[in-house]
Amino acid sequence: MPLEFGLWRVDDKPVRVATRPMRLEARLEELIEADPEIVGRTLLLIGRQVQTDHGKFIDLLGIDAEGALHVLELKRDRTPREVVAQLLDYGSWVQDLSNEQVREIYGAYARGRGLAEELDEAFALRFGGSPPDALNSTHHLTVVASEIDAATERIVTYLASGYQVPLNVLFFRHFEDEGRSYLARTWLIDEADTAATPAASKARGKQELWNGTDWYVSFGEEAGSRSWDDALQYGFVSAGGGEWFSRTLRSLPMGARVFTHIPKTGYVGVGTVSGEPQPFEEAVLSVGGEDQQMAELPLKGNYRAGVQVLDAEGGEDRREWIVPVTWEASVPRAKALWRTGFFANQNSACKLRARFTIDEVSRHFGIA
């Protein structure tokens, strides 16, 4: 049966607050845009009246902290058959959106609204971190309505429960009491019971494209194990203390361009890998045009702490691994660059796909 609920003001005795007719759905789009929290989910809106390739317009399009897209379609005066069919049509279009297309939709929405123009920055401001590597790996479809009829309930429940279509109805009711207006909401189906459909087609396009050259390197200085002053002066990056920490750094290929980041500080250098990875005890660096054993240089960091530990099972390589780098641009720690939305990762090294980070760091350091 159709959903219904009430609201009571409790003073000396319960007094039911009257439900008042209101052109609610005409205003809901604006209210949700002003505060997406109204829908009960933490979303970053990335588009309003988004035109699809089929000439239709999605009322509101949002993204959540996991990178899933949310299509919000107001019922308005359409029949259940019309609004559900329209939403399913939107879902068939949304599932094919690539990472770049999602970013373009946000960029078009942000321009003229005084919003952060890059999705990475807006995402970080909203969720407190960088976007996931893959955007639009899943999506959700929501009918937003001020009232719901039995036919809509049957259709949505049938599709969501029987066929795992990521479809639900967000039901709003308007109340007035002593000159004040209130909104109440509820979902037709418990969110725990609704599925999030993987956007399987064009799966590779869900990640930002990698240019085949740029890598991210995390240069941790914790506990004095290594020093950026050393890396800046002698030209290298390093990682160690365990197989997990050094493995990704050792995968850096010759000629890779590395964007070097000190955790909780910022980006301090961009350079090109100029030598093969070597353990500290064997590492050779070019200093003033001459090759020198790194172990013989005056260093501020303690690179000997991670000695190779062997046990009965063969042991774990805890040595510090060194990768020679020719710096294109680099700055002291005190001049590190950081902006909200910049990419950061716990891996010692990984492919850098974040175009916003690449563009802004390159621009700041004067790199083509």
72 touches 142 (CB < 8 A): yes
- Residue 214 pLDDT: 97
pLDDT score for 311: 42
Give the side-chain half-sphere CA count within 13 A for 349: 25
Residue 184's pLDDT is 83
- pLDDT, residue 78, reads 77
Classify strands 266-273 and 321-330 as parallel, antiparallel or unpaired: antiparallel
Residues in the chain: 368
| Max CA distance (Å), the chain | 90
The whole-number pLDDT of residue 280 equals 95
The segments of the chain whose pLDDT lies below 70 read 1-5, 20-26, 80, 191-204, 223, 305-315
Looking at residue 274, its pLDDT comes to 97
Predicted local confidence at residue 147, as pLDDT: 74
Q: What is the pLDDT of residue 13?
A: 85
Contact 47, 61 (CB under 8 A): yes
CA–CA separation, 338 and 348 (whole Å) = 18
Report how far residue 147's alpha carbon sits from residue 53's, in angstroms, rounded to the nearest whole number: 30
Under 8 Å CB-to-CB from 169, ≥6 apart: which residues?
Answer: 142, 143, 144, 145, 148, 152, 153, 156, 187, 188, 189
| CA–CA gap between residue 109 and residue 106 (Å, rounded) | 5
Task: Report pTM.
Answer: 0.80
* pLDDT confidence of residue 270: 98
Predicted confidence at residue 312, as pLDDT, reads 40
